[in-house]
Structure 1
Amino acid sequence: MQPISYTRATDAAEAVAAFADAGEGARYIAGGTTLFDLMKLNVELPGHLVDVSGLTGSDRIDTSGETLVFGAGVRMADIAEDPTIREDYPLLAESLWKAASQQLRNMASVGGNLLQRTRCPYFRGGAGGVYPCNKREPGSGCPAIGGIDRGQAVLGISDACNAVSPGDWPVALTALDASVRVLGPDGERTIPIAEFFLLPGETPDREFALRPGELILDIQVPKTPMGRASTYHKVRDRESYAFALASAAVALQLDGDRVTDVRIALGGVATRPWRATEAERVLTGATPDRETALEAARAAMADATPGQHNAFKIDLAVQTVADAVAIAVERSA
């Protein structure tokens, strides 16, 4: 049995200092729904845990200013059930209540949810030498390329990795141009959500833009009138407790029957939450009927590269985006 030491911090500065003192092998833990899972699979083997579940102010939800602010320690369920969020930003609420069981939503923090790692079976099932994996052991190989790839990504892949980004909440945040405020040994900084998640390239083991020891403080979302006309539409193998095969976060604004502004992000099909700027360009200034929505969605998937078993995801994503646009249009009325 591997020994693990433990520190419970009361504020962010104390947590960062405890992490630095522990050195290599330290991990932050809040709800634990991701880290404990990976520890049981021997994917993560931390030597020291810094408990940040009780940090002062980390459970804050602030909807009063020009920016929505969610403390990193806020539970998924708290945002999913917040009346203001459900009314004014349904895509945020939907991305959380469609993400997991109620038990998990009651435990998992929204900061930890950003750091959820892939469900690739070779990554999660290969610890102990069963399968190589470039995410676990850089340079060891990727058996998912040319292997069982039904659930793998078709956008943003590289010769080193095609693991799909698993989150729902990050997709909604990507559509709304959120940012992530962090604190580390070198001080505080803010990372745009578009830069927070890294493409695999030749270094798929580096998934996030966090520097060693950095702790997520909060997530900030600019307020927008598009929030009310929004949705997070998710297609999966079963209706609940399943990860997306394809999903779309859509928020838009209409002037009459024309789209004046729109934000679209995709999940379930890419190696990171995928902003569909090509689809946004097609829709902006257009009437968002079914054919135009399908045209926009096809533009979003134009660069998709399917493997042996996941080509179906391309058309599935097209239909999912078009359906999400229709839902957002209906909510704009």
Structure 2
Amino acid sequence: MNSFSYLRAVNVADAVEDINTKNKAKFIAGGTNILDLMKVNVERPEHLTDLTRLPLTEIQNTEDGGLRLGALATNAVTAWNEQVQQRYPLLAKAILAGASAQLRNMATNGGNLFQRTRCYYFYDTATPCNKREPGSGCSAINGYNRIHAVLGTSEHCIATHPSDMCVALAALDAKVNVTGTKGDWVVDFADFHRLPGDQPELDNNLQPGDLVTSIDLPAKTFSKVQYLKLRDRQSYAFAIVSVAAAIELEGGTIKEIQMALGGVAHKPWRDKSAEAMMIGKTPTKENFRLLAETVLATAKGYSYNSFKIELAKRAIVRAFTEALQAV
């Protein structure tokens, strides 16, 4: 780990000013990802701006009937919050499927959005990686790519986004509140993360000195939800494929349906046109399979991960079937 300077910010303006006046600076809150990356020299910040004392921990109702999650509220506090449990169980399920209890006690909501990929080659500084060192090449494309992306890939990167929480936030149409040197603004969750394109080193569409202050959940809720996470072991493992499924019926047909996939792309994968196709259809396994085929129509497998395509299709059918069976 390299040497670095450090400042504990006392307010939001202080944090934004500090990080924007330092060279190679990074925010740190729970530190559950960035400290790991620093230990293996993947991240080498020259300055850290500590956010842990900022007043961004509240979870509160919004004027439009939604719920605002403070960026510094921990994943554990968020998952067990009464409002989240009752109104947004999909989010609670997704958070509790991630990491371990100890990590959830430290990890923050804002930090969860900025998780870096868990690609083997990204963490191995002895191998080429365009995400770690732009222009060096992607070792995963012709390497061992079992955990890698099958949707939205490019010739420069096939890494996946590792978050469970973000998959649920994508399915729920969350919004992200951001502040920076240019003021305050709101980002639709669908526009927050990026596909790799020719700049895989960029995980999201914010600038380095922009600070997430909170995440807003919409007033609309779903009574039938499921978060299905398929992984190599039952706990403390990243998703091979995950599905955040939300559905509402009316008169025996689908009134509303929203879904996002995890473990298959550089960002949580959402296909709103495929969802729209399902409105008015009966909630059968055959129709859920049609949804799955549509969502995965452009999927491309690599040497070791082609199985993910069929796995994802079956996971979609299973997730919605289980959502409808839930009491």
Partner residue, 1:15: 15
Q: Would you say 1:63 and 2:43 are equivalent positions? A: no
Contact 2:88–2:221, Cα closer than 8 Å, also in 1? no
Partner residue, 2:105: 106
Partner residue, 1:288: 283
Q: Would you say 1:146 and 2:145 are equivalent positions? A: no
Task: Please give the alpha-carbon distance, in whole angstroms, between the structure 2 residues aligned to 1:39 and 1:317.
Answer: 33
Contact 1:135–1:205, Cα closer than 8 Å, also in 2? yes
Task: Please give the alpha-carbon distance, in whole angstroms, between the structure 2 residues aligned to 1:233 and 1:312.
Answer: 17
Partner residue, 2:237: 242
Q: 2:264 aligns with which of 254, 261, 269?
A: 269
Q: Calculate the TM-score normalised by the size of structure 2.
A: 0.97
Q: What are the superposed Cα offsets for residues 154-208 of structure 1, whole Å, 9 maximum, x if unpaired?
A: 0000010000111111111111111111111111111111111011001101111
Q: What are the superposed Cα offsets for residues 279-314 of structure 1, whole Å, 9 maximum, x if unpaired?
A: 313321111111111111111111100001101101
Q: Would you say 1:79 and 2:75 are equivalent positions? A: no
Contact 2:285–2:321, Cα closer than 8 Å, also in 1? yes
Contact 1:266–1:276, Cα closer than 8 Å, also in 2? no
Contact 1:278–1:299, Cα closer than 8 Å, also in 2? no
Task: Please give the alpha-carbon distance, in whole angstroms, between the structure 2 residues aligned to 1:256 and 1:236.
Answer: 36
Post-superposition offset of 1:278: 4.3
For 2:248, give the aligned amino acid: Q
Q: What are the superposed Cα offsets for residues 91-112 of structure 1, whole Å, 9 maximum, x if unpaired?
A: 1001111001000000000100
Q: What are the superposed Cα offsets for residues 263-286 of structure 1, whole Å, 9 maximum, x if unpaired?
A: 111001111110032431332111
Structure 2: runs of 5 or more not aligned = none
Task: Please give the alpha-carbon distance, in whole angstroms, between the structure 1 residues aligned to 2:211 and 2:47.
Answer: 15
SS at match of 2:21: helix
Partner residue, 2:46: 47
Partner residue, 2:2: 2
For 1:252, give the aligned amino acid: I
SS at match of 1:7: strand
Partner residue, 2:25: 26
Q: How many residues align?
A: 326
For 2:128, give the aligned amino acid: P
Q: Calculate the TM-score normalised by the size of structure 1.
A: 0.95
For 1:13, give the aligned amino acid: A
Task: Please give the alpha-carbon distance, in whole angstroms, between the structure 2 residues aligned to 1:225 and 1:144.
Answer: 39
Percent identity at matched positions? 44
For 2:155, give the aligned amino acid: D
Post-superposition offset of 1:2: 2.9
Q: Would you say 1:194 and 2:187 are equivalent positions? A: no
Q: Which moved more, 1:175-184 or 1:278-287?
A: 278-287
Partner residue, 2:302: 307
For 2:158, give the aligned amino acid: N
Contact 1:225–1:253, Cα closer than 8 Å, also in 2? no
Post-superposition offset of 1:37: 0.8
| Residues 278 and 297 of structure 1, relative CA distance in 2, 3 Å threshold | farther
Partner residue, 2:34: 35
SS at match of 1:275: coil
Q: What are the superposed Cα offsets for residues 203-233 of structure 1, whole Å, 9 maximum, x if unpaired?
A: 101111111310110011112132x321211
Task: Please give the alpha-carbon distance, in whole angstroms, between the structure 2 residues aligned to 1:20 and 1:278.
Answer: 39
| Residues 133 and 110 of structure 1, relative CA distance in 2, 3 Å threshold | same
Post-superposition offset of 1:87: 2.2
Task: Please give the alpha-carbon distance, in whole angstroms, between the structure 2 residues aligned to 1:143 and 1:232.
Answer: 31
Task: Please give the alpha-carbon distance, in whole angstroms, between the structure 2 residues aligned to 1:249 and 1:189.
Answer: 27
Post-superposition offset of 1:76: 0.3
Contact 1:26–1:48, Cα closer than 8 Å, also in 2? yes
Task: Please give the alpha-carbon distance, in whole angstroms, between the structure 1 residues aligned to 2:198 and 2:145.
Answer: 19
For 1:8, give the aligned amino acid: R
Post-superposition offset of 1:89: 1.2
Task: Please give the alpha-carbon distance, in whole angstroms, between the structure 2 residues aligned to 1:3 and 1:239.
Answer: 37
Partner residue, 1:260: 255
Q: Would you say 1:173 and 2:169 are equivalent positions? A: yes
Structure 1: runs of 5 or more not aligned = none
| Residues 313 and 48 of structure 1, relative CA distance in 2, 3 Å threshold | same
Partner residue, 1:116: 115
Q: How big is the alpha-carbon RMSD for the aligned residues of Structure 1 and Structure 2?
A: 1.3
